[in-house]
């Protein structure tokens, strides 16, 4: 069967989306050639300086390419099957034409799921396109045409969605690309000045040295601002989307709803083990579907927390409105193990273990 017009258009789009990645790849390949061959090998006479520059350069280069690769080729995670509507629920939903009755059905399904955010109008967040209940912090990406867990943004420079599965890689990509540009700028400066003083031999190397300095310093500025912004987001436990529009909880919007304090926010992205922080391997905490929040921690069916008071207004609001699964469970799991919230085994035990942990965090934060 011949491909349809839409299929051809999709195919062309898919090819076009790789252009920014290709652009970066060409620049990086040229920078490698210019730095290693033209600057270090051709223009630097001092062997000691040459060796040190080449060693440090290659360490940063490898980390940068590794992090970039991981950001591009790590598949964004989609919601677990528990969030998808069953066949019977879909039928039920289709039969109802009133919004309120549909919401009633969705609310019934959401009862067993760790969902605490709502739409602006207070409705359950449902993706028509994927036919699923959106977990907290999950958004539908129109480019990927999928619901992406903890979606941060769709990044054209990596032709991928930045979300739960690759946010750590994205942060490391920003860090190492910034270090890469800063290192080139710093070590090239001396030769850049020599160029203007006509101190360089008249070969093509001097033009590589000139453009290397311009491009590295310009990229440094834009990467630094982006990196600083994302560091701030990590400290505040916000995604770019949440920074633009604060998440809505049942009691209203709260831009700091997922914040557990700077250190725990950082560990949510980078993990508990320091040795994995600088390495682009997965070490983020949680399953991407459920997130501890300082706003939702009281369940009417659970005994009151053994640790200190929680802001009274928050308790009252949540106790009234949350008949669902205690968040304490997902909170404690997120911060104690990497198991999925849907693993029922040992849930009671974890509940006991973690009971003080998340709430304690909140108290520190407050």
Residues of this chain that interact with Zn ion (CB under 5 A) are 127, 129-130, 140-141, 143-144, 147, 154, 161
Task: Say how far apart CA 135 and CA 80 lie, in whole Å.
Answer: 9
Token pair of 320, please? 């009234």
Give the nearest distance from C-beta 182 to Zn ion in angstroms.
30
Token pair of 119, please? 């739409």
In the complex with Zn ion, which residue's Cβ is closer, 116 or 126?
A: 126
In the complex with Zn ion, which residue's Cβ is closer, 9 or 320?
A: 9
Q: What would the DSSP string read from start to end of 85-126?
A: PPHHHHHHHHH--SHHHHHHHHHHHHTTTT--EE-TTS-B-E
Task: Say if strands 252-253 and 248-249 run parallel, antiparallel, or are unpaired.
Answer: antiparallel
Provide the total of helices (H) and of strands (E) in the chain, helices listed first. Answer: 13, 9
Coil, strand or helix at 133: strand
Give the nearest distance from C-beta 157 to Zn ion in angstroms.
13
Task: Say how far apart CA 195 and CA 216 lie, in whole Å.
Answer: 16
Q: Say how far residue 110 (Cα) sits from the centre of its chain.
A: 25
CB 45 within 8 A of CB 158: no
In the complex with Zn ion, which residue's Cβ is closer, 151 or 212?
A: 151
In the complex with Zn ion, which residue's Cβ is closer, 145 or 273?
A: 145
Give the nearest distance from C-beta 154 to Zn ion in angstroms.
4
Of 362, 115, 333, nearest to 256 (Cα)? 362
Q: What residues are labeled active site?
A: 155
Task: Say how far apart CA 334 and CA 3 lie, in whole Å.
Answer: 45
In the complex with Zn ion, which residue's Cβ is closer, 43 or 160?
A: 160
Supply the Cα-derived Rg of the chain in whole angstroms: 25
Task: Say how far apart CA 106 and CA 85 lie, in whole Å.
Answer: 9
In the complex with Zn ion, which residue's Cβ is closer, 153 or 236?
A: 153
Give the nearest distance from C-beta 148 to Zn ion in angstroms.
6
Give the nearest distance from C-beta 142 to Zn ion in angstroms.
8
Give the nearest distance from C-beta 138 to Zn ion in angstroms.
8
Residues recorded for the chain: 366
């Amino acid at each position: 069967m011949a491909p349809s017009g839409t299929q051809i258009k999709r195919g062309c789009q898919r090819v076009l989306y790789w252009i920014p990645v290709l652009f970066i790849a060409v620049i990086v390949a040229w920078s490698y050639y210019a730095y290693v061959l033209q600057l270090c090998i051709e223009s630097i006479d001092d062997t000691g300086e040459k060796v040190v520059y080449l060693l440090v350069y290659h360490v940063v280069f490898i980390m940068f390419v590794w992090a970039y690769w991981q950001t591009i080729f790590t598949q964004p995670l989609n919601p677990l099957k528990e969030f998808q509507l069953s066949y019977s629920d879909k039928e039920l939903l289709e039969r109802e034409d009133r919004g309120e009755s549909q919401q009633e059905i969705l609310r019934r399904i959401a009862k067993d799921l760790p969902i605490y955010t709502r739409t602006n109008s207070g409705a359950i967040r449902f993706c028509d396109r994927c036919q699923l209940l959106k977990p907290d912090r999950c958004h539908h990406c129109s480019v990927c045409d999928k619901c992406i867990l903890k979606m941060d943004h769709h990044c054209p420079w990596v032709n991928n969605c930045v979300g739960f599965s690759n946010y750590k890689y994205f942060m490391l990509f920003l860090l190492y690309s910034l270090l890469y540009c800063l290192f080139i700028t710093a070590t090239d400066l001396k030769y850049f000045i020599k160029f203007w003083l006509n101190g360089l031999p008249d070969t093509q190397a001097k033009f590589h040295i000139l453009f290397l300095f311009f491009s590295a310093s310009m990229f440094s500025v834009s990467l630094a601002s982006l990196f600083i912004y994302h560091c701030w987001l990590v400290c505040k436990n916000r995604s770019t989307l949440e920074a633009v529009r604060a998440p809505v909880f049942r009691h209203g919007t709260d831009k700091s709803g997922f914040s557990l304090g700077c250190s725990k926010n950082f560990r949510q992205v980078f993990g508990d083990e320091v040795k994995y922080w600088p390495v682009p391997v997965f070490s983020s905490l949680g399953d991407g579907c459920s997130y501890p929040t300082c706003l939702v921690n009281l369940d009417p069916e659970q005994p009151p927390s053994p640790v200190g008071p929680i802001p009274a207004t928050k308790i009252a609001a949540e106790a009234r409105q949350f008949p669902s699964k205690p968040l304490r469970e997902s909170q404690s799991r997120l911060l104690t193990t990497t198991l999925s919230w849907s693993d029922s085994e040992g849930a009671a035990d974890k509940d006991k273990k973690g009971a003080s942990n998340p709430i304690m965090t909140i108290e520190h934060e407050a």
